[in-house]
Amino acid sequence: MNNIVLFEPEIPQNTGNIMRTCVATGTKLHLIKPLGFSLDESQIRRSGVNYIDKLEYYVYEDFNDFQKQNPGIYYYFTRYGKKPHTSFDYHNVKDNLYFIFGKESTGIPKEILKKEIDHCMRIPMTDKVRALNVSNACAIVIYEALRQQNYSGLLFEEPHKGADYLEK
């Protein structure tokens, strides 16, 4: 099972967008406090459109609380990672895979990353920006994992207007 983990997210619009991506991909979302917003804020609902009621998500008091409750393989996204996100094998769907993203201002603490250096990665980019927007990074990574898993559980045809919509 694929999971996105947001370590102390600060911006409600980013989290709302990630919530929508999680619903679209069948991904569980884990939020580690402190949060920079309230989950009942209108900004979260607007960014997540009307899909938040379909989202499976959990909130944790801190990183230790999250780790105690979630065994599996952890992947950490950081601009300091030396391996691209595409260099890892995400085929093993028997294990829970956790893609962990840090808060927008400072990322994941160095103390956590140092212990997991072999699972630290980055999305390749130019030297013109420090980092991608976290909601964009989450989408890139979850779709890479799903690509490796042959998009298991996702639809290849449009379900609302029909698979033959363009032919009509």
Rounded CA-CA distance 114/5 in Å is 18
CB atoms within 10 A of CB 87: 9
Give the global pTM: 0.92
Rounded CA-CA distance 6/11 in Å is 11
pLDDT string in tens for the chain (168-residue length) = 999 999 999 999 899 899 999 999 999 999 999 999 888 766 666 665 567 788 999 999 999 999 999 999 999 999 999 999 999 999 877 889 999 999 999 999 999 999 999 999 999 999 999 889 999 999 999 999 999 999 998 999 888 888 888 888
CA neighbor of 79 nearest in space, from 35, 127, 16:
127
Rounded CA-CA distance 73/99 in Å is 9
Structure tokens at 86: 């595409």
3-state secondary structure (DSSP) of residue 166: helix
C-alpha radius of gyration, the chain, whole number: 16
Structural domains of the chain sorted by starting position, each given as residue range(s) with its CATH number in brackets: 2-167 (3.40.1280.10)
Rounded CA-CA distance 79/91 in Å is 24
